[in-house]
Structure formats: C-alpha cells, structure tokens
Amino acid sequence: LYLYESKANVFVLKKSFGTSPDRLSISGDYEFLSYLKSREGPVFRDEFVKNATHDMRQPALIYFQNTHASLCYPILSEGEWCGLINLDVFDDKEESKLSILLGLYGDALARWLTYQSTAEQNRKLSEVAHVKDQLISNVTHELQTPLNGALGGCDVLLAHPNLDTDQKQSVLMIQKSTRELQRTIDQILSLVQIESKQTQLSREKVDLSTLVYEVSALYTDVCQPKGVVLHVPSASESISVYANADQMRAVFMNLIGNAVKYTEAGFVRVGFEKVADWIYVSIADSGIGIDEDKQHLIFEEFYQVDGSHTRVYGGTGLGLAIVKKIITLHGGKIWVESQKGAGAQFKLTLPVYPV
C-alpha cells in the first residue's frame, strides 16, 4: 500500500506483506501513473506482457517489476490521488472478485483518508482562529484606553470658554470621529467574544415590544429631517422571549439603524407575530434595497454592499454579521427579502423558550 503525499508529489510505502517492493517511494510524475489514474480501476500486468504494442508497455512492466505485483489499483477521491494498492495475484480465476473487493476497499480507504485530512485541516484552522481572536481581542482592548483619553480631552476642550466657532467645530469633528472608531472597535470585540463564546449567554424574560420601542426612540431625531416614518408595535403589546437582553438590544440597534440609514424617505416598520413556540420578527423599509445577487453576502464579516471608495453610506460591514451570530446563538434564523430600489425586509425567528 502506497499513500500519496501531495506536497512532495510522491507515493510513499506504508504497508507491505510478503515480498517487499524494491522501491519505498514512487514519484508522482512517473508516466505510468497518469495511465493508472485515467483507468480508475484495476490494471493487470498481463495486459502489457501480452500486448507488445501497448504505449505504456515498458513503463508499466518496470513499475510491476519494482513493486513485485501483478495487479495495481489506483485509490482516488473525486479524481485526485490518495494512493496505490499493489497485489501479487496467484489465482487468475479470482481476478474479477479481487477487482470488486479492491474497489470497495479503495473507496473506503479514500473516504477515510479524506476524513483524516479534513479533520487535520479543521484542527489547524481552529488553532489559527483562536490565535486571531486572541490577537484582535488584545488589540481592541489596548485601543480603548487611548480612545477614551481622546474623548475625555475633547470634553475638556469643548468646556473651554475661549473656543471660537471654528475651533469648536474642529473639536466636535475629532469627537465624532473618535466615537465612530470606538464603535467600530466595540463591534469587532463583540464579534470576537461571540465567536469564541467568551460571552456567557445568560437568558432572561425579555419583552421585545418594550425593547424595540426604546431602541426606536433613539432614531426619532434622525428620521424626522428625512421624512421617514418609523412604525413600531406599542410597548403595551407584550411579546416576550427568553434571551440575553443586551444581545437582543444589539440586534435591533443594528437592524433598525440600518433600515433608517438606507431609507431617505418613506417608512421603517417593525412587526411581530407569535406562531406556536416561535416569534417571527420583520423589519421592513422603503429604502434603496439590495441586489439579489448580493443578498447572500451581506451577513459576511466586513462586507459592504457598496464597497467603493465613493460610497455614500458609512459603516464597517460588521453589524449584520454580529446580528446573525447572535440570532444563531439563540437558536433562531435570519434572512432578507429585497429588490434593488424597492426596499428591504429583514426577517428573523426566535424561540420563545431556550433551545
């Protein structure tokens, strides 16, 4: 049994019984191997012994001589090399049965090798992801201190009585930019904490109607100048779930905030519906909408629907990624229905009780 090592492009002997082969390794460039790969089944030495005009006769006979075999079976997975099985067949009458058995064994071995390779890749990816999360977490924590210092300095300057109008505007611009940067860092840190499960998912009874009513009040001043009407259920309409209150607030801050940001005129509407043990939530708007071919990407980290340098709408592309991870962590689902220029409707489900 030879197993293929892709990095070195070589087949390495892993196990042998009876007469050992002369070669412990076989180069992946050996011309007879291309023929084996094209056959995708057992190849017998006799077909080359009996056929003197066969194009592969010489390299094939050399191969069988070096491996002391009369039969070779290529092990492939989705057309790619996994290994080679070589056998010295003593009873020609059993060739057809051997071919069937080798086929079954080869398929099973290919699946096992693929599984082992995938498991190892996943382990390495997990290690890399852990290092990445730790690095990002450390960096974001370190950035928070100087940002808080900058904001404190802005507060001191704004309280100074001798600032003229231009100076005050400059300080306000610094303050606004610093807060935006701080918000971005907070989002990145939240994403890392959710992914690494550092955040304990403590649940309590959360009244979504009250929570949405409170969140929507934060956007009243933004909606009025644009002529956007914000419709939300009354706070007296009790729709409750067992969830993490802070994370639910982050979900609706992102979804309602996005709807308001991308709607220049018209409406933003939040609705609830209880079906059995599930709450169905919709956040609809009459804004710019989302191209159908981009809708599957908007929940990816750092993805911007408009990624150009001249884009009108700001943001980091982290909000929806955070929303999806929170909803998934709570056992729910989220998706979007939209057409370019015809608004968007984000829909999500939440279990009434923890799952």
Q: How confident is the model at residue 271 (pLDDT cuts 50, 70, 90)?
A: very high
Q: How confident is the model at residue 197 (pLDDT cuts 50, 70, 90)?
A: low
Q: Using the predicted structure, report yes or no on whether residue 138 has a pLDDT greater than 80.
A: no
Residue 322: closest CA among 203, 209, 132, 184: 184
Six token digits for residue 349: 């489900």
Six token digits for residue 338: 């939209």
Q: How confident is the prediction for the chain on average, in pLDDT?
A: 83
Q: How confident is the model at residue 32 (pLDDT cuts 50, 70, 90)?
A: very high
What global pTM score does this model have? 0.53
d(CA 322, CA 133): 15
What is the residue type of 303?
Y
More confident residue, 94 or 247: 247
pLDDT of residue 244: 86
Instruction: Kindly state the percentage of the chain with pLDDT values over 90.
Output: 21
Six token digits for residue 229: 């009407």
Q: How confident is the model at residue 94 (pLDDT cuts 50, 70, 90)?
A: low
What is the residue type of 136?
I
What size, in residues, is the chain?
A: 355
302 backbone dihedrals φ, ψ, rounded to 5°: 65, 10
Q: Strands (DSSP E) along 146-208, which ranges?
A: 204-207
Q: Using the predicted structure, report yes or no on whether residue 275 has a pLDDT greater than 80.
A: yes
Neighbours of 165 (CB within 10 A): 7
pLDDT single digits (tens) 286-326: 998 888 878 878 887 655 555 443 344 555 567 788 889 88
d(CA 151, CA 158): 11
Q: Using the predicted structure, report yes or no on whether residue 198 has a pLDDT greater than 60.
A: no
pLDDT single digits (tens) 212-261: 999 898 888 888 888 888 888 887 778 888 988 888 888 998 899 889 98
pLDDT of residue 285: 92
Q: Using the predicted structure, report yes or no on whether residue 355 has a pLDDT greater than 70.
A: no
